[in-house]
Amino acid sequence: MRLNKPTIEEFESIIAFYDDVTDRTPDMERFARWQKGKHPTHDGIRAYIEEGSMYLYKDYGAIVGAMAVTMYQGEDYHAIEWSQQVLDNEAAVIHILAVSPDAQGKGIGSEMIREAIRLAQTNGMKAIRLDALASNTPAHKIYKALGFEYCGQQHLYAENTGWTDFYFFEYKEVTHIRCIEKEKWDEALKLVKEVFMEFEAPDYCEEGIADFMHAIGDESYLSMHCFYGAYQDNKLVGVIATRDDHHHIGLLFVDKSYQRKGIGRQLIQHILDMKDKEPITVNASPYGHEFYKKLGFVDTSEEQITNGVRYYPMKKY
């Protein structure tokens, strides 16, 4: 998912988008309780745009989703007993997330939150937080499913609701991605072997398994790659290796306990953010084939078999 920062020239179209969300979202008065002009406020949206905190998701030029992601927290967040104490400029906060009523129920909101998490991580934030009305139970479920935990509540005043309860949430799985130096490749390759044997080897014949093991033990092959690791609490939980100036993914493996949590997606996005606009390729295993499709990779030919290794040549433009 690609998010764009709007300019102030888009202010009116953004206001129109939020007005439409407020008017047409089912059960708005029951859950989020937004009111046009009162929340989100026009001044607030203008401020987010001007400070560079506003993000839009567009489809064929039309706004489909919008949110603000600030690289700081306000005073309202001080009263909560967070799991970690950080400075205001070390905590990112997600605000006014909205998806067009015509696109709701398609997972766009969840993808936007994942992008907000990635933005915060890229900016070195130590915490990622958000708040929601106590009445907004559908949003609570989404936040919890994406790794946010309830940390407390406050009784606060808002122009659209009056005095009411707000719930505060914090993301608990902050992933840091950094280069893996050569002297630490052994740790990365240990993870690669373990994940390969459990999830990919069952799709290969003995020759294919042996060929893969030979490759990741071949110094000349490995030296063509740049290795990056995903870390949580300083634990290596995912590995990606690329070559040809980040234009080809040679390895991508995520620890069993951390799969289906967006780590593979974050590793790939990290590479996409570093490379130029040329396409990126991968020879996807049968196990990973559908995963790459979901990220926008397309098959460039039918399944191939080389030395017993099965793969689908794929490319993302």
pLDDT of the residue at 85 = 87
Same domain, 135 and 215: no
Whether residue 34 is found in the same domain as residue 84: yes
CB 93 within 8 A of CB 67: no
Task: Give how many domains the chain has, as a whole number.
Answer: 2
The reply to whether the predicted model has a pTM over 0.85 is no
* Same-domain pairing of 69 and 218: no
Domain-located, residue 43: yes
Distances (CA, A) of 251 to 1, 3, 223: 22, 27, 13
Q: Are residues 56 and 104 in the same domain?
A: yes
Q: Which of 109, 137, 171 is the endpoint of a domain?
A: 171
Tokens of 249: 């993914």
Task: Indicate the residue among 123, 144, 171 that finishes a domain.
Answer: 171
Are 146 and 221 part of one and the same domain? Answer: no
Please tell me whether residues 114 and 214 are part of one structural domain. Answer: no
Q: Is residue 30 part of a domain?
A: yes
Same domain, 53 and 128: yes
Instruction: Kindly give the confidence (pLDDT) of every residue in the chain, 317 residues in length, as a single tens digit, with 9 standing for 90 and above.
Output: 889 999 999 999 999 999 999 999 999 999 999 999 999 999 999 999 999 999 999 999 999 999 999 999 999 999 999 988 899 999 999 999 999 999 999 999 999 999 999 899 888 888 999 999 999 999 999 999 998 999 999 999 999 999 999 999 999 876 889 999 999 999 999 999 999 999 999 999 999 999 999 999 999 999 999 999 999 878 999 999 999 999 999 999 999 988 877 899 999 999 999 888 899 999 999 999 999 999 999 999 999 999 999 999 999 99
- Domain endpoint, select from 171, 192, 221: 171
SS (H, E, C) the chain: CCCECCCHHHHHHHHHHHHHHHHHCCCCCCCCCCECCCECCHHHHHHHHHHCCEEEEEECCEEEEEEEEECCCCHHHCCCCCCCCCCHHHEEEEEEEEECCCCCCCCHHHHHHHHHHHHHHHCCCCEEEEEEECCCHHHHHHHHHCCEEEEEEEEEEECCCEEEEEEEEEECCCCEEEECCHHHHHHHHHHHHHHHHHHHHHHCCHHHHHHHHHHCCCHHHHCCCEEEEEEECCEEEEEEEEECCCCEEEEEEECHHHCCCCHHHHHHHHHHHHCCCCCEEEEECCCCHHHHHHCCCEECCCCEEECCEEEEEEEEC
Distance of CA 268 to the CA centre of its chain: 10
Same domain for 104 and 183, yes or no, is no
pLDDT of residue 142: 95
Residues 21 and 112 in one domain: yes
Q: At 194, which CATH number?
A: 3.40.630.30
Q: Structural domain of residue 129, as residue ranges?
A: 8-171
> What is the pLDDT, as a whole number, of residue 174?
67
Residues 153 and 193 in one domain: no
Residue 3 lies in a domain: no
21 and 79 both lie in a single domain: yes
Does 39 share its domain with 136?
yes
61 lies in some domain: yes
